[in-house]
Every structure is written in C-alpha cells, then in structure tokens.
C-alpha cells in the first residue's frame, strides 16, 4: 500500500496523467482479486459441504403424511431444544455465510 501511495505521489510530482495512476491502482486490485479468488472458492466448497451435512443432521418432522390427513397430532409443533437448536442455528449461519461468499466471488473480477 505504501509503495502504491509513493508511486502515485511520484506521478503527481512528475505531472503524469491521472489515467496512468488509475490503471496502476486497477492492476493492483486485479492482482489482489486473483490471489483471493481461489481461496474464496475453497471456502465456498467447505461451506457447501457443511450446509449439506447440517441439513441432513436435522431431525425429520411429521413429513408430508400430516398434510394428507395422517394422524400426527403431537408433531404439529415441536420446540427445538439443546442440540437440535444448535444444529438449526448453525445451518442458518452456514447458509448466510455461503451466500455472502458467493456474492463476493461473483463481484470479484476473474481472469
């Protein structure tokens, strides 16, 4: 960052055009995005596996049987407690993180 500021300061002193300074800044942004993109993809793969695992770990409810008149009087509403609540909350956190990482990966320019 200091090198970038120093080069911009030198260009300003020598009277270089503002266009040259902006291309220097843009090329450094492209380099940073190229370094971060593979790491973000690995994080995205790990988060997707975690989301799948936590969704599969959640307890099954009454299912579709109660929608067609099946007798599931006690399973209409069930409060999550303990580990069930933890798994449910972690699933929500991982889904939100996956969405954020996906948006960041979409916004970063890929070459």
Q: Which domain holds residue 17?
A: 2-107
Contacts 24+ apart (CB under 8 A), 87-96: 87/54, 87/57, 87/58, 88/58, 90/54, 91/51, 91/54, 91/55, 91/58, 94/47, 94/50, 94/51, 94/54, 95/51
Instruction: Kindly report the pTM of this predicted structure.
Output: 0.60
- Say if CB 36 and CB 108 are below 8 A apart: yes
Can you give the pLDDT at residue 16?
47
Mention every residue, 6+ apart, whose C-beta is less than 8 A from residue 12. 21
Residue-wise pLDDT for 23-43, tens only, equals 556 677 667 778 888 999 999
Average pLDDT of span 60-82: 61
- Say if CB 44 and CB 101 are below 8 A apart: yes
Give the count of domains, the chain.
1
């Amino acid at each position: 960052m200091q090198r970038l500021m120093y080069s911009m300061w030198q260009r300003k002193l020598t009277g270089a055009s503002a266009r040259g300074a902006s291309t220097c800044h843009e090329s450094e942004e492209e380099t940073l995005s190229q370094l971060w993109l593979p790491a973000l993809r690995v994080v995205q793969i790990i988060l997707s596996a975690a989301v799948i695992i936590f969704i599969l770990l959640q307890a099954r409810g009454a299912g579709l049987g109660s929608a067609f008149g099946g007798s599931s009087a006690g399973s209409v509403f069930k409060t999550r407690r303990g580990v069930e609540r933890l798994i449910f909350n972690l699933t929500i956190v991982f889904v939100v993180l996956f969405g954020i990482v996906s948006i960041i990966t979409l916004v970063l320019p890929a070459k």
